[in-house]
């Protein structure tokens, strides 16, 4: 059965090629034609929403510390990109390679929303709130307030909302839905509960968010969820066999670290399926 091509979601930006959650990673994802971007957010000590996956900044920066114990100003002077950069090919380039790149400072969600807003083509943003965290539900309340400042907290058409919220925490998704009922939500999960396996989600979750491992085990889940009016967002999909599996199953949103190669493979698959017309 033919299935529409999934939307390509850039997981933490084009994170296979540039350091995750940096402005450069998201700019590259947009250049590569991603349909949507994905980010993780946490609350800094002084109440700012920053795009950082881990509880600590040790893995993805030149410094150490817990996000909730650091201020935005303290993180702004930290290099979040050099750890991912490839060594340059010449000695002249190497001179500048070790210098902090202003594009590699900590990225705030406010800045990322501005990048999405200013892009000439429509692009959606999937925002994941991380839990457990020191400040509990503050991250969802901060998110709703920031979306309201950008005019995004009450979209006229939820189906085309520029922002979608998601989390592995059921309490977080439920809390966000209560505060911003028109913004679509994604319930992420890495194991099936009995009802979820049948495609039945809680009423406050609009979209199912299984990991790719679950779909390898049970690709029919996507159709069962669709029969109940629920689309599927699958993470994190880079292998070509997994891309094909998601396409065949009918996944709507495919999160990938490599938007360009994933898009190219999907396009090639569509070309092969429908064939090409040649003239002589």
Please state the rounded mean pLDDT for residues 116-139: 95
In the chain the domains, ranked by start, together with CATH numbers, are: 9-54+108-275 (3.20.20.190)
Q: What pLDDT score was predicted for residue 103?
A: 57
Question: Which one from 11, 17, 104, 265 is the annotated catalytic residue?
Answer: 11
Other CB atoms within 10 A of residue 87 CB: 7
Q: What pLDDT score was predicted for residue 88?
A: 45
The confidence band for 194, taking pLDDT boundaries of 50, 70 and 90, is: confident
Rounded CA separation 42/68 (Å): 8
141 is catalytic: no
Q: What stretches of the chain show up as alpha helix (H) in DSSP?
A: 23-31, 72-76, 91-97, 109-118, 138-149, 170-179, 194-197, 212-217, 221-227, 240-249, 259-274
**pLDDT at position 27 over 80:** yes
Residue 52: phi, psi to the nearest 5? -140, 130
Instruction: Read off the pTM.
Output: 0.92
Rounded CA separation 174/177 (Å): 5
11 is catalytic: yes
Question: Which one from 17, 21, 53, 104 is the annotated catalytic residue?
Answer: 53
Peptide bond into 173 cis (omega under 30): no
Please state the rounded mean pLDDT for residues 131-153: 96
- The whole-chain average pLDDT of the chain stands at 91
The fraction of the chain above a pLDDT of 90, given in percent, is 84
Q: What is the pLDDT of residues 60-115, one digit of tens each?
A: 999 999 999 999 999 998 999 987 865 444 444 444 444 445 557 899 999 999 99
* β-bridge partners, 210: 189
Q: What is the pLDDT of residues 214-241, one digit of tens each?
A: 999 999 999 999 999 999 999 999 999 9
Q: What is the pLDDT of residues 247-269, one digit of tens each?
A: 999 999 999 999 999 999 999 98
Rounded CA separation 197/225 (Å): 8
3-state secondary structure at position 124: strand
Please state the rounded mean pLDDT for residues 112-135: 96
């Amino acid at each position: 059965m033919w299935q529409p091509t999934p939307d390509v979601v850039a997981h933490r930006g084009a994170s296979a090629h540039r350091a995750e959650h940096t402005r450069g990673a998201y700019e590259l994802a947009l250049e590569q034609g991603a349909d949507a971007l994905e980010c993780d957010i946490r609350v800094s000590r002084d109440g700012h929403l920053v795009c950082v996956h881990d509880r600590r900044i040790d893995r993805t920066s030149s410094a150490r510390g817990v996000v909730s114990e650091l201020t935005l100003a303290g993180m702004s002077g930290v290099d979040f990109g050099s750890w991912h950069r490839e060594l340059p090919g010449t000695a002249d380039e190497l001179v500048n390679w070790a210098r902090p790149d202003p594009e590699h400072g900590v990225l705030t969600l406010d800045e990322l929303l501005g990048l999405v807003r200013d892009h000439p083509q429509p692009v959606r943003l999937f925002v994941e709130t991380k839990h457990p965290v020191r400040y509990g539900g503050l991250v969802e309340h901060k998110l709703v307030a920031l979306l309201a400042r950008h005019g995004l907290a009450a979209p006229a058409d939820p189906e085309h909302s520029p922002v979608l919220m998601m989390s592995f925490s059921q309490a977080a998704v439920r809390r966000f839905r209560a505060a911003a009922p028109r913004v679509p939500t994604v319930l992420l999960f890495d194991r099936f509960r009995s009802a979820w396996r049948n495609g039945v989600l809680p009423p406050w979750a609009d979209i199912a968010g299984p990991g790719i491992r679950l779909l390898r085990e049970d690709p029919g889940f996507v159709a069962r969820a669709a029969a109940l009016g629920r689309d599927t967002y699958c993470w994190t999909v880079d292998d070509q066999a997994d891309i094909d599996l998601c396409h065949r199953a009918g996944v709507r949103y495919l999160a990938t670290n490599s938007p360009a190669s994933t898009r190219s493979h999907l396009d090639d698959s569509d070309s092969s399926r429908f064939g090409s017309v040649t003239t002589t």
